[in-house]
Chain A
Amino acid sequence: MADRLLFSKTGRAKYISHLDLMRTFQRAFARAKIPIKHTEGFNPHPFVSIALPLSVGYSSQCEILEFTLLEGTGYEEVPERLTAAMPEGIVVHQCYPAQRKLKELAYLNYIMNFEYPEGRPQAAEPAMRELLGRDSLVVQKKSNKSKKGYTEVDLISLIRSWNLECQSDTMTLDAVLFAQNPGLNPELIRAAFCEAYPQFAPDFVTFHRREVLDGEGKPFR
Chain B
Amino acid sequence: MNRTLEHILPKVQKPARYTGGEYNAVVKDKQSVDVRFALCFPDTYEIGMSNLGCRILYGLMNEQDHIWCERCFAPWGDMEEEMRREGLLLYGLESGDPIADFDFIGFSLGYEMAYSNVLNMLDLAEVPLRSADRPDLTPLVVAGGTCCYNPEPLAPFIDFFSLGEGEEVTLEYIDLYRQAKEEGWSKEEYLREVAKIPGIYVPSLYDVTYHEDGTVAAITPKDGAPATVTKRIVQDMDKSYFPVKTIIPSTEIVHDRVMLELFRGCIRGCRFCQAGYAYRPVRNRDPKLLAQYGKAACEDSGYQEMTLSSLSSTDYPCLMELCDDLLDYCAARDIGLSLPSLRADTFSMSLMERLQRVRKGGLTFAPEAGTQRLRDAINKNLREEDLLQSVRTAFSGGWSGVKLYFMLGLPTETDEDVLGIADLARKVYFAWRECTPNKARGVRITVSTSWFVPKPHTAFQWEAQIPVEEYQRRVDLLRDAFKRDKSITYNWHDPQTSYLEAIFSRGDRRLADVLEWAWAHGAKMDSWSEYFDYQRWMDALAACGLSGDFYAHRVREKDEVFPWSVPSVGVSREFLWHERELCYQSQTTPDCRTRCSGCGANKLLTGGGRCG
Q: Which residues of A contact B (CB under 8 A)?
A: 11-13, 15-17, 20-21, 23-24, 26-31, 33, 38, 42-45, 56-57, 85-89, 203-204
Docked complex Cα distance between A44 and B334 (Å): 7
Among residues of A, the one whose C-beta sits closest to the C-beta of B11 is A57
Q: Given the interface contacts A43-B358, A85-B302, does A16 sit within 8 Å of B250 by beta carbon? A: yes
Interface residues of B in 444-467 (CB under 8 A from A): none
User: Which residues of the partner chain A approach B25 to less than 8 Å between Cβ atoms?
Assistant: 87-88
Inter-chain contact A57/B250, CB cutoff 8 Å: no
Inter-chain contact B358/A17, CB cutoff 8 Å: no
Chain A nearest CB, measured from B51 CB (Å)? 20
What are 18 A-B contacts with C-beta separation under 8 Å?
Answer: A11-B21, A12-B1, A15-B15, A17-B14, A17-B16, A17-B251, A24-B250, A27-B23, A27-B248, A27-B301, A30-B298, A30-B333, A31-B299, A31-B301, A44-B334, A56-B10, A56-B15, A204-B6
Besides A23-B252, A31-B300, A204-B6, 11 other A-B contacts (C-beta < 8 A): A12-B20, A17-B16, A20-B251, A26-B304, A30-B298, A44-B334, A56-B15, A87-B21, A87-B22, A87-B248, A87-B250
The digit string for B71-109, where 1 denotes a CB below 8 A from any CB of A, is: 000000000000000000000000000000000000000
Inter-chain contact A89/B21, CB cutoff 8 Å: yes
Q: Is B355 an interface residue (CB 8 A)?
A: no
The 5 A-B pairs at the shortest CB distance, nearest first, are namely A27-B302, A12-B21, A30-B302, A88-B21, A31-B302
Docked complex Cα distance between A85 and B299 (Å): 11
Inter-chain contact B16/A15, CB cutoff 8 Å: yes
User: Which residues of the partner chain B approach A203 to less than 8 Å between Cβ atoms?
Assistant: 7
Chain A nearest CB, measured from B414 CB (Å)? 46
Q: Which residues of B contact A (CB under 8 A)?
A: 1, 6-7, 9-10, 14-16, 18-23, 25, 248, 250-252, 298-304, 333-334, 358-359
Inter-chain contact A15/B334, CB cutoff 8 Å: no
User: Which residues of the partner chain A approach B304 to less than 8 Å between Cβ atoms?
Assistant: 26-27, 30, 45
Among residues of B, the one whose C-beta sits closest to the C-beta of A20 is B251
Chain B nearest CB, measured from A215 CB (Å)? 32
Chain B nearest CB, measured from A87 CB (Å)? 5
Docked complex Cα distance between A57 and B5 (Å): 12
Among residues of A, the one whose C-beta sits closest to the C-beta of B298 is A30
Among residues of A, the one whose C-beta sits closest to the C-beta of B247 is A87
State which of B23, B251, B302, B358 has its C-beta within 8 Å of the C-beta of A42: B358
Among residues of A, the one whose C-beta sits closest to the C-beta of B251 is A20
Q: Given the interface contacts A26-B304, A27-B303, A87-B22, does A45 sit within 8 Å of B334 by beta carbon? A: yes
Docked complex Cα distance between A24 and B555 (Å): 53
Inter-chain contact B19/A12, CB cutoff 8 Å: yes
The residue in B7, B251, B301 that gathers the most chain A C-beta atoms within 10 A of its C-beta is B251
Docked complex Cα distance between A86 and B24 (Å): 9
Chain A nearest CB, measured from B265 CB (Å)? 32
Chain B nearest CB, measured from A43 CB (Å)? 6
Inter-chain contact B10/A57, CB cutoff 8 Å: yes
Q: Given the interface contacts A15-B16, A20-B251, A26-B302, does A42 sit within 8 Å of B21 by beta carbon? A: no
User: Which residues of the partner chain B approach A13 to less than 8 Å between Cβ atoms?
Assistant: 21, 250
Docked complex Cα distance between A89 and B25 (Å): 13
Docked complex Cα distance between A45 and B303 (Å): 11
Among residues of A, the one whose C-beta sits closest to the C-beta of B19 is A12
Docked complex Cα distance between A28 and B14 (Å): 21
Inter-chain contact A16/B334, CB cutoff 8 Å: no
Inter-chain contact A29/B21, CB cutoff 8 Å: no
User: Which residues of the partner chain B approach A43 to less than 8 Å between Cβ atoms?
Assistant: 358-359
Docked complex Cα distance between A88 and B23 (Å): 7
Chain B nearest CB, measured from A81 CB (Å)? 13
User: Which residues of the partner chain B approach A27 to less than 8 Å between Cβ atoms?
Assistant: 23, 248, 301-304
Chain A nearest CB, measured from B93 CB (Å)? 10
Docked complex Cα distance between A163 and B300 (Å): 46
Chain A nearest CB, measured from B15 CB (Å)? 4
User: Which residues of the partner chain B approach A17 to less than 8 Å between Cβ atoms?
Assistant: 14, 16, 251
User: Which residues of the partner chain B approach A204 to less than 8 Å between Cβ atoms?
Assistant: 6-7
Among residues of A, the one whose C-beta sits closest to the C-beta of B10 is A57
Inter-chain contact B300/A11, CB cutoff 8 Å: no
Docked complex Cα distance between A13 and B334 (Å): 27
Inter-chain contact A29/B302, CB cutoff 8 Å: yes
Inter-chain contact B301/A57, CB cutoff 8 Å: no
Inter-chain contact B251/A16, CB cutoff 8 Å: yes
Q: Given the interface contacts A15-B9, A57-B10, does A38 sit within 8 Å of B19 by beta carbon? A: no
User: Which residues of the partner chain A approach B299 to less than 8 Å between Cβ atoms?
Assistant: 30-31, 33
Docked complex Cα distance between A88 and B21 (Å): 5
State which of B19, B300, B358, B359 has its C-beta within 8 Å of the C-beta of A15: B19
Among residues of A, the one whose C-beta sits closest to the C-beta of B9 is A15
Docked complex Cα distance between A13 and B16 (Å): 8
Docked complex Cα distance between A31 and B304 (Å): 11
State which of B16, B298, B359 has its C-beta within 8 Å of the C-beta of A16: B16
Among residues of B, the one whose C-beta sits closest to the C-beta of A203 is B7
User: Which residues of the partner chain B approach A30 to less than 8 Å between Cβ atoms?
Assistant: 298-299, 302-304, 333
State which of A26, A31, A33 has its C-beta within 8 Å of the C-beta of B23: A31
Among residues of A, the one whose C-beta sits closest to the C-beta of B334 is A44
User: Which residues of the partner chain A approach B333 to less than 8 Å between Cβ atoms?
Assistant: 30
Docked complex Cα distance between A21 and B249 (Å): 11
User: Which residues of the partner chain A approach B334 to less than 8 Å between Cβ atoms?
Assistant: 38, 44-45
Among residues of B, the one whose C-beta sits closest to the C-beta of A25 is B302
User: Which residues of the partner chain A approach B251 to less than 8 Å between Cβ atoms?
Assistant: 16-17, 20
User: Which residues of the partner chain B approach A89 to less than 8 Å between Cβ atoms?
Assistant: 21
Among residues of B, the one whose C-beta sits closest to the C-beta of A58 is B10
Docked complex Cα distance between A174 and B375 (Å): 71
Chain A nearest CB, measured from B332 CB (Å)? 11
Docked complex Cα distance between A57 and B13 (Å): 11
The residue in B19, B250, B334, B358 that gathers the most chain A C-beta atoms within 10 A of its C-beta is B250
Chain B nearest CB, measured from A30 CB (Å)? 4
Docked complex Cα distance between A15 and B298 (Å): 25
Docked complex Cα distance between A27 and B20 (Å): 18
Chain A nearest CB, measured from B216 CB (Å)? 49
Chain A nearest CB, measured from B226 CB (Å)? 45
Among residues of B, the one whose C-beta sits closest to the C-beta of A89 is B21
Inter-chain contact B1/A85, CB cutoff 8 Å: no
Docked complex Cα distance between A194 and B20 (Å): 32
Among residues of A, the one whose C-beta sits closest to the C-beta of B13 is A56
Chain A nearest CB, measured from B28 CB (Å)? 14
The residue in A17, A20, A29, A31 that gathers the most chain B C-beta atoms within 10 A of its C-beta is A31
Inter-chain contact B359/A42, CB cutoff 8 Å: yes
Docked complex Cα distance between A45 and B304 (Å): 8
Chain A nearest CB, measured from B25 CB (Å)? 8
Inter-chain contact A87/B23, CB cutoff 8 Å: yes
User: Which residues of the partner chain B approach A38 to less than 8 Å between Cβ atoms?
Assistant: 334
The residue in B14, B23, B25 that gathers the most chain A C-beta atoms within 10 A of its C-beta is B23
Chain B nearest CB, measured from A175 CB (Å)? 19
User: Which residues of the partner chain B approach A88 to less than 8 Å between Cβ atoms?
Assistant: 20-22, 25
User: Which residues of the partner chain A approach B14 to less than 8 Å between Cβ atoms?
Assistant: 17
The residue in B248, B302, B358 that gathers the most chain A C-beta atoms within 10 A of its C-beta is B302
User: Which residues of the partner chain A approach B358 to less than 8 Å between Cβ atoms?
Assistant: 42-43
Docked complex Cα distance between A33 and B6 (Å): 34
Docked complex Cα distance between A28 and B304 (Å): 11
Among residues of B, the one whose C-beta sits closest to the C-beta of A84 is B23
Chain B nearest CB, measured from A41 CB (Å)? 9
Chain B nearest CB, measured from A120 CB (Å)? 17
Chain A nearest CB, measured from B335 CB (Å)? 9
User: Which residues of the partner chain A approach B303 to less than 8 Å between Cβ atoms?
Assistant: 27, 30
Chain B nearest CB, measured from A117 CB (Å)? 9
Among residues of B, the one whose C-beta sits closest to the C-beta of A45 is B304
Among residues of B, the one whose C-beta sits closest to the C-beta of A27 is B302
